[in-house]
Chains A and B, each alone.
Chain A
Amino acid sequence: MRNWFSRLIIAMAVATAGVVVLLSFMRPVAGQTQGPAYQAPRFAGTQHPDLNGIWQTLTTANWDIEDHSGQPGPFPALVGAWGSQPPGQSIVEGGELPYKPEALEQKKANYAKRLSVDPFNLHDSGDPEAKCYAPGVPRGMYMPYPFQILQMPSKVLMVFGYSNASRFIQLDNHQEAPLDTWMGWSNGKWEGDTLVVDVTGFNGHSWLDRAGNFTSDALHVVERYTPTGPNTIMYEATIEDPKVFTRPWKMSFPLYRRLEKNVQLLEFRCVPFTEEFLYGTLAKPGTFTKKRS
């Protein structure tokens, strides 16, 4: 009886010591951006992590990917604090974007005219988000709305509620971008537990945020998706765009899994919210915005 009891005590002590040793290994080392390798669950029938889920960033990068203070929205006299800009820290490695001088001027002009659209030059006037355009890459990844990853053995589909945007990441069918698009052409591969995605074929009309930061049709993005826990993915992207920036630069932020019970992607079709904004100056006065039925 006593023998049994002391054996139990010893076993518990050994187990506790083991856990303590294990925990000391798992504690992140100061200054290290990622913890030691987390072993994500595998996708059915494959050796690769399962990234399925509804994910969302918590950054304020969609307002400005660089450091930014709290600011009033564009129409404070009309809507008070609604639409104001929340403060946030840069998601850009090193803090600031390495613009070419002429591109920096373009960024400033973009910001000044972010809410002006010319119906005969729709693609290159105003913030694409205000026009309900597909957000592009990387902006789509840090819009303040959820998106869903739907993983398959040969490809990964990302569906964004906002503006019905989507991305296919081809794991097998690697090819050169066959045409220029808003969300680009994505070739992906697994490097260990990291999904590495090479994105090209951009049409050059996308912005990076509401602050007028932008990219051109020479944009080349390399993304890395690394699961760092059951409910987090570290997103890292290297941005190369020799028409706009003096050198490649990096951004990173975590994506968080949406955990609410029965959470699902909801339709956020913003096109009808933009028609007066886009075409209002062309239309015959008094022939629109009459809600029917």
Chain B
Amino acid sequence: MRHKFLATIGLLAIVSLAACGRQAPSGAANSTGAATTDTSLRTSWGDPNIQGVWENLERAPLERPKEFGTKEFMTEQEAAARAKRTPLTTSGTPTVDLPAGEAEDVIGNLASADNARNKAADSLPEDAPGRRIVGAEYNSFWNAPLKASKQSLRTSQIVDPPDGRLPPYTREVLAMWDEREKERLGRSQGDSWEDRGLGERCIAQPVGNGVFLGGFNNIMQTPGYVVIYWFTPGDGVFRVVPLDGRPHVGPKIRGWYGDSRGRWEGDTLVVETTNFNSGHAGESLPAHGTLFGTGHAHNYAGTGETLKMVERFKRVDANTMEYRLTIEDPKVFVTPWTAVTVRNRDETKTPEYEYACHEHNVGMVNAIAGSRANRKTSLAEAERELKARQPGIKQKWEQLKAWEASHQKTSTQ
């Protein structure tokens, strides 16, 4: 039954592998033979060849809408119905149902709210104070309908836990977010750079190589190394990954993108990354963006220092890669979790342009100068966003408490 509908899409091998929930042998059998692992693909020095530009067009939500329960895949009818409801936009992966009666699709809500505000901004008279920004034009990029992509029938990117949803945040993280929200009281959107997120500051994008943000990978190989270039709507990041089995650097060496080690398991590249710094949580107090997993997140909400990230890059056929990410961070999530996305090879892209985010961050100057020039408006907007975050954080506390209660019950039985 499941195979019947899967056979109609071009991602059969990946999906059926994932549906089995385990690694199957190369070229796992399927009736159409549509997608098999091409084991002849080797570099001139004999490594599996996973080089190329791999675009993350996966638009399954990170977390599974509750209506699907533990169902990993939807039917085509269900997919068509969902596609009609909300056009997907450029600005990222829809995450999860908003609590407190807000409609399910966060991105859709944001797009219409943004458009309303931008339209209002554009209708200001020419002699209004401050620097004039043509908001609707600038932001229309983010709210543009997404180009048609190869769409899997996944109900969520998260495949573990089996409900397809992020495990609860720890008390430590939620207490830190409560504290952060208190610190935000009385701060505008741009009193200083610390009111902007790490991405806007050109410091770091959320960890996870695009699972949270999209973008694409340019993977390059040379003997002994794989280079994973992640080109996001916010920055370009190189990870140079040694394959020689050397140990991680010492625990005192920390970085925004950590320290990566790679190895081949068959034709799958496995990259383990540790040695993250604590800055993903500790060094920003952003006015904009929510706690991850509650909507329009711009930051990875974690201490980072205990994070271990394991990524598996598996080329399924010439043009398709399965990317599997496991996040283990006991200080942040009560259990590890795993997400799976599909990446499509795209040779029409030329990502080898320079990405100079910080060098051209006039947006930061405008954000601070603009907030100072019109602090009243800026404070009001910051307060609006702060209030909008509250239900999400409350929901996360409830999720944790429910987990703790059931966990306690299980452990005392």
Which residues on A are within 8 Å of B, measured CB to CB? 44-46, 52, 119-120, 122-123, 131-134, 148, 150-153, 155, 157, 159, 163-164, 166, 168, 170, 178-179, 181-183, 262, 264-267, 269, 271-272, 274-275, 279, 282-284, 287-288, 290-293
Contact = CB atoms under 8 A, between A and B. Distances in A.
B238 A166 contact: yes
Contact of A293 (B187, B236, B278, B372): B278
B329 to A, nearest CB: 14
B180 to A, nearest CB: 8
Question: Nearest 10 pairs between A and B by C-beta?
Answer: A293-B282, A45-B44, A267-B255, A283-B192, A288-B192, A287-B191, A44-B45, A284-B191, A181-B354, A287-B192
Contacts of A181: 353-354, 356
Interface string B152-173: 0000000000000000000000
A120 B279 CA distance: 28
A152 B221 contact: yes
20 contacts: A44-B44, A44-B45, A119-B369, A157-B220, A166-B354, A178-B353, A264-B242, A266-B249, A267-B255, A271-B203, A272-B279, A279-B192, A282-B368, A283-B191, A283-B372, A284-B191, A287-B192, A288-B193, A290-B194, A292-B282
B364 interface: yes
A153 B365 contact: no
A45 B45 contact: yes
Nearest to B281: A293
B193 A275 contact: yes
Given A166-B238, A182-B354, A269 B203 contact: yes
Contact of B358 (A132, A264, A293): A132
B18 interface: no
B272 to A, nearest CB: 15
B195 interface: yes
B303 interface: yes
Contacts of B242: 264
Contacts of A151: 222
B126 interface: no
A230 to B, nearest CB: 16
Given A292-B285, A293-B282, A122 B354 contact: no
A150 B225 contact: yes
Interface of B: 43-45, 51, 176, 180, 183, 187-188, 191-195, 201-204, 220-225, 227, 236-238, 240, 242, 246-247, 249, 253, 255-257, 278-279, 281-285, 303, 352-354, 356, 358-359, 362, 364-365, 368-369, 372
Contact of A282 (B176, B202, B282, B365): B365
A271 B220 contact: no
B187 A287 contact: yes
Residue of B176, B237, B284, B359 with highest tally of chain A CB at under 10 A:
B359
Contacts of A283: 191-193, 368, 372
Contacts of A163: 358
A266 B372 contact: no
A145 to B, nearest CB: 14
A279 B371 CA distance: 13
Nearest to A170: B352
Given A266-B253, A267-B256, A272-B279, 15 more contacts: A52-B224, A120-B365, A123-B359, A132-B358, A150-B222, A151-B222, A266-B249, A271-B203, A272-B203, A275-B193, A275-B201, A282-B365, A284-B191, A288-B191, A292-B282
A144 to B, nearest CB: 19
Given A120-B365, A133-B359, A150-B227, A272 B192 contact: no
A274 B203 CA distance: 11
A290 B191 CA distance: 13
B368 A269 contact: no
Contacts of B187: 287
A122 B365 CA distance: 10
